[in-house]
Amino acid sequence: MNATADLLNLVFLALAVAFVWRLWVTLGQRTGRERPPFDPRLGRLPPGPSTDSSPMPQPANDREPVRGIAEPDKPLWTGYAEEGSAVARGLEAIAAADPRFAMKPFMQGARVAHEMIVEAFARGDKAALKPLLAKEVYDGFAAAIDRRVKAGETVALQFVGHDRVDVAGAQMDGKRAILALRFVADIISATRDKAGAIIDGNATTIRQITDRWTFERDVTARDPNWKLTATDDMLE
């Protein structure tokens, strides 16, 4: 009986030693590369040590970024006139009379209008010119087109682009906003007589033109469009 009990004790002892040894092999020799256990509170695997020496991307911050103090708006004339100049004062007066007025869209529209008018005049398109010009200017353009047609002359023109557009003058005159611009542009233009011979310009050479145009608009009118009212006078 005692021999049997001693034998059983030895068996249990051997099993215990084997269990402890296996447990030490499994848990006592971690290298730091093992997959970390699942964390039920997070619903995901917690971060473990990285084997990459490069920095890991950081998670996005859920909070709104700290916003700095907004910079004050720049004056309307910035980039178009010198501070304290007559042009700067004129632009401020126009903006005061018409809160919708802004320089960037006006200058973009003026560039488009200049190109459209130059091209329409070259091809003798009175219908395209009429809505863009004040009556006196339109009458002058139309008369020049009629003289050209009567003489049998034609103009071939290609508008290459603007080199620059500057504000030459700005003012309010009653309810009229007045802006004078100086356009410097490149074109290819040739005028031919009725026989087809070139009498002005060149059919292949780019040349530069400079136009000084004045645009006006009644700031109390519902029509937001500006019209060309002069093609040579400069506001002082």
CATH number of 86-230: 3.10.450.240
**Residues 68-82: tens digit of each pLDDT:** 566 668 898 899 999
Per-residue pLDDT of 184-231, as tens digits, reads 999 999 999 999 999 999 999 999 999 999 999 999 999 889 999 999
pLDDT in tens, 57-68: 333 444 444 555
Confidence of residue 41 (pLDDT cuts 50, 70, 90): very low
What mean pLDDT do residues 40-66 have?
A: 39
101-127 pLDDT per residue, tens: 999 999 999 999 999 999 999 999 999
Sorted by where each begins, the domain ranges of the chain are 86-230
pTM: 0.68
Q: What is the mean pLDDT of the chain?
A: 79
Which has the higher per-residue pLDDT, 3 or 187?
Answer: 187
Q: Which of 55-59, 83-87, 110-114, 230-234 has the lowest mean pLDDT?
A: 55-59
Separation of CA 52 from chain center = 42
